[in-house]
Amino acid sequence: MLEGVQVETASQAVTRVLLDAIVDGRIPPGKTLRLQEISDQLGLSMMPVREALRQLAALDLVEIEPRKGARVRAMSIEDLQDTYFSRVYLESIAVSEAAKRFTQDDFAKASQALVEQEHAQQEGDLVKSRAAHERFHFAIYEASQKNWLLRSILPAWRNSERYRVGALAQIETLDQRGIEHHALLTSVSEGDSLAAVRHLTTHLATSVQLAWTSVESQGKPAPLGISEAEVASMIAQVQAIQQ
């Protein structure tokens, strides 16, 4: 039996194009997004552009103000910490639940995404690398079988991608990031929820430090916004849920 072919609608295509441009900085924070200008550049009517901006506003990447139009939301250290604070808590639950249900198919899917990310990095293709990186993480999170949890993770994930762009340029950190990815995948595939939470927390803390350095350009380490005591408490809560 033939499978259905998925075709992007015009609004989905515009959303993807604008999202990529916002994430990689081609459309900078604070930039006004004019319907007519975008429509002309893409050769489309304003309707799909308007819908795309609504979708991006739902992810909190774009602000829409009455009679003022839309603009890309500003970036700040406070927003960076707030974003990753949410990611740590939501994604820790996801990896903990995924470790209980992880299958060989899940492992194959996540492993393939890692291979694709590493190849893209070697080729210097940041767009493909970013897409493969997202597929890797969400291959793990989807194994949790918690659909509302996945929906909750996505907005913070999309916003954090804006901060990761500068960090990706720090080539000397890529090997360590790869080690962290493989450690996370191994712990989940072995069903070790607590180790998975620890590896994820370490991985996201590193992301914050790299992003902070990129945004501030001062090389200062950035706190995750979650203390070691809070991480320990979170791990204890995960352990309690498993019992």
**Which of the residue ranges 38-52, 53-67, 145-159, 214-228 would you say has the lowest mean pLDDT?**
214-228
Tens digits of per-residue pLDDT, 104-141?
999 999 999 999 999 998 888 888 888 899 999 999 99
Checking if the pLDDT of 179 tops 70, the result is yes
C-alpha–C-alpha distance, residues 177 and 121, integer Å: 12
Which among 126, 105, 216 is positioned nearest to 174, based on CA atoms? 126
d(CA 187, CA 195): 6
- C-alpha 39 chain-centroid distance: 27
pLDDT of amino acid 183: 96
Using one digit for the tens of pLDDT, what is the confidence trace for 180-219? 999 999 999 999 998 999 999 888 888 887 777 655 544 4
Q: Would you give the distance in Å from CA 17 to the centre of its chain? A: 16
pLDDT, position 21: 86
Closest CA to 162 of 236, 69, 239, 60: 60
Q: Say if residue 231's pLDDT is above 60.
A: no
Total-model pTM? 0.77
- Judged against a pLDDT cut of 50, whether residue 242 lies above it is answered with no
| Predicted confidence (pLDDT) at residue 1 exceeds the cutoff of 50 | no
Q: Cα 173 to the chain's mean position, in Å?
A: 18
Average pLDDT over residues 229-237: 56
User: Which tokens sit at 41?
Assistant: 């550049």
**Full set of structural domains in the chain with CATH:** 10-72 (1.10.10.10), 77-242 (1.20.120.530)
**pLDDT tens profile 2-25:** 444 455 788 888 888 888 888 878
Sequence-ordered alpha helix ranges (H) in the chain: 10-23, 35-42, 46-58, 77-101, 104-123, 126-142, 147-168, 174-189, 193-216, 228-242
Question: What is residue 122's predicted lDDT score, i.e. its pLDDT?
Answer: 85
Amino acid found at 116? E
Map residue 30 onto helix, strand or coil: coil
Instruction: Determine the 3-state secondary structure of 65 from DSSP.
Output: strand
For residues 224 and 84, the answer to whether their CB atoms sit within 8 Å is: yes
Task: Please tell me which residue, 28 or 170, carries the higher pLDDT value.
Answer: 28
